[in-house]
A and B are shown apart, each in its own frame.
Chain A
Amino acid sequence: MTGNKNTFEELEEALKFGWSLLDDLNFQYISDWKNDNPSRQAIGYFPIYVPREIIHAAGMLPVGLFGGGSHLQVIKGDAYFQSYICHLPRSVIEMALDGNYADIDGFIFPSICDVIRNLSGVFKIIIPGKFIKYLDYPQNFDWGVGGEFYSLELWKLQQELFELNGIQVSSRDLNHSIILYNKNRRLISQLQNIRSATPWKISTADFYAVMRAGYVISVEDHNNYLENVITLLGQIECEPEDKIRVIITGSFCEQPPMGMIKTIENAGCYIVDDDFQLGAMWIVGDIIDVSNDPMQALARAYLEQRVLSSSVYDSDGSKGNFLARLVKKHKADGVIFCAPSFCDPALLDRPELEKTMDKYHIKHISFRYHENLGQFQVIKEQVGTFSDSIKLWA
């Protein structure tokens, strides 16, 4: 490792900040933010994607909610959902009932799967009186059909937020928010490029924590944070280890436990790309930020610039080819299909994706997890042998 000792210490401090937010299930940052801004609201949203620009333009703080991960033991949440669905809804219900979301003034449930749809209904029952919004997305990407529908959905969302705080959002306000989030996506993309090119400089676990901070802190703060981390990474040099390069896919909604990410990295892999926290990178490239109708710009971006994901309808098999292109782009040695147990979108896509990987002779393994998984021995074995098989026998 080379670089100024202070640089390493600064980087460590910066990463610690991300981890502290990740570990804080009581959202102290939001509490502080509300104390500083008593007239403003925090709006929680669930995975995967929500157009945060609209919330931000309304003067509110968008807060990404993922559940308690491995920090939380779910007891009450189990009473609300059957055992054969994913872990995420049970976890967020537990947190809601325990008062972890006390500082959050409203919740948006984007359309991902039936479970999240039902979760919005459950929230109406368990947190009566709070703003609860089920946000539907188009599965038809023709502007005349899906575009019209989605524009109307976004307009309705804006009106509902107006009813909450009485702030009328102008095109200029929304364009300003788009500018900030465009910058945010560019910075994340820059950080992602650093990870892909030099994964020995920043582990995926740390990368995750830095990115995840953006789901809690304001976009302005997150942009500063990202710039700081990127600058510090540019000032250090580290020796690469002899590891294989892998892409992880299937973890876009319920997030994997940090222990699992670390296990994969310790078992001999550099994770050079993944779909964790996919919402922050859902839109590829910049959204037009000088339009007279920024709402339409947001809707068009969803239709025309979205990333390919299992939660979006795809009839022509382009998701498999997209993944194969990612493998090539990141010079990956293999793919790890890693989906939460009972995640219908990810698990239904998996056989087709595996077939495509086989077609291109891309090596792959697969396993499942749930967000509070604590035992990683089996995953360690699977990934360790996968890594060795590529390093020694490929």
Chain B
Amino acid sequence: MIYTIGIDVGSSFIKTILMSYGETPIILEKINDKIHKRNPSTVIEHAMDTVLEKQGLKYEDVSYVASTGEGELVKRKKGHFYGMTTHAKGAHYYFPEVSTVLDLGSLFCRAIKVGRDARVLKYTMTGQCASGSGQFLENITRYLGLNLSDVGTLSLKSKHPERPSGVCAVLAETDVINMVSRGVKIEDIIKGIHLTIANRVVRLLSRLKAESPVVLTGGMALNLGLVAAIKETIDVRNMNLEVITNEYSPLAGAVGAALWGGYRYLKLAEA
């Protein structure tokens, strides 16, 4: 049996997958752990030990440990794959018909055109400003005293969304403070932020000349409010794109890393 581990080290979460790799790869264990002021290396080691323990396995039983994201923090690894490559592979695993991947990460977002074999064909990504990122959304959520897991459903209740600045995170935060002072409803603020982020990422899709279906990956892929805002923005722009996501979408990078790890293990064994 070939076991692989994929670890996606993000700036907020560390995603770990234990996979049984073969003709039909099977995910045996998954962990999506928030770093939350802990040493990321400790979180990584703990996650690896946990997934192995749950399956009664030892580190030596694993054929390939693959990292992605900030992979240098993974000490016990065999190889590292770049984030785009793993997100494309992870999305392809669940949705083989995928044409475009929209990676909604903590620090930036990327639109990736994917070939039939999960190959990255082309990509565009957001710039250095944090205003279109998950970290920005997380910060605002904290300032508003909300729970991150609640903002998606809260956003769906909005009737009159108010959009903050889409250019600069600092200006956007100031806008939000003003909105709170003016008594704007929390759900309208959140929906406005979702629409602002959606506007940025849909522009990426437009630049990429994206094709359907668009698979969402990354930490924000399960945020119902953001997903709705992206669909709404796509409709407003008449882009005719189908957007899909599933419960594994935030883990796509780790899944892709585990899959590529298995592929490399066999390739190296052949050589």
Task: Give me the interface of A with B, judged by CB distance under 8 Å.
Answer: 241-243, 262, 266-268, 377, 381, 384-385, 387-388, 391-393
Contacts and interface: CB of A to CB of B under 8 A. Distances in A.
Given A385-B120, A388-B85, A392-B85, A268 B263 contact: no
Interface in B112-137: 119-120, 128
Given A266-B71, A266-B72, A385-B85, A392 B80 contact: no
A239 to B, nearest CB: 8
B72 A381 contact: no
Interface string B244-271: 0000000000000000100110001000
Contact of B260 (A267, A385, A392): A392
B79 interface: yes
Q: Is the interface of A mostly helix, strand, loop or mixed?
A: helix
B264 A391 contact: yes
Contacts of A268: 79-82
A242 B85 contact: no
Contact of B119 (A241, A377, A393): A393
Interface of B: 64, 71-72, 77-85, 119-120, 128, 260, 263-264, 268
Contacts of B72: 262, 266
Contact of A242 (B82, B83, B120, B264): B264
Nearest to A244: B79
Contact of B79 (A242, A262, A381, A393): A242
Contacts, number: 48
A331 B81 CA distance: 21
A242 B78 contact: yes
B71, B79, B84 — most chain A CB neighbours (10 Å): B79
Contacts of A391: 79, 81, 264
A392 B78 contact: no
Contacts of A241: 77-80
Nearest to A240: B78
Contacts of A243: 79-80
A267 B119 contact: no
Nearest to A388: B85
A243 B80 CA distance: 8
Contacts of B263: 392
28 contacts: A241-B78, A241-B79, A242-B64, A242-B78, A242-B79, A242-B264, A243-B79, A243-B80, A266-B71, A266-B72, A267-B82, A268-B79, A268-B80, A268-B81, A268-B82, A377-B128, A384-B80, A384-B84, A385-B82, A385-B84, A385-B120, A387-B80, A387-B82, A388-B81, A388-B82, A392-B85, A392-B260, A392-B264
A243 B78 CA distance: 9
Given A242-B264, A242-B268, A385-B120, A267 B85 contact: no
Given A241-B80, A393-B119, 4 more contacts: A242-B78, A242-B264, A381-B84, A387-B82
A393 B263 CA distance: 11
Contacts of B264: 242, 391-392
A387 B264 CA distance: 13
A242 B74 CA distance: 14
Nearest to B108: A377
Contacts of B120: 385
Contacts of A384: 80-85
A170 B133 CA distance: 69
B82 A266 contact: no
B205 to A, nearest CB: 19
A381 B77 contact: no
Contacts of A242: 64, 78-79, 264, 268
Nearest to A268: B80
A267 B84 contact: no
Contacts of B80: 241, 243, 266-268, 384, 387
A205 to B, nearest CB: 12
B258 to A, nearest CB: 14
B83 to A, nearest CB: 8
Nearest to A384: B82
Contacts of A381: 82, 84
A350 B78 CA distance: 33
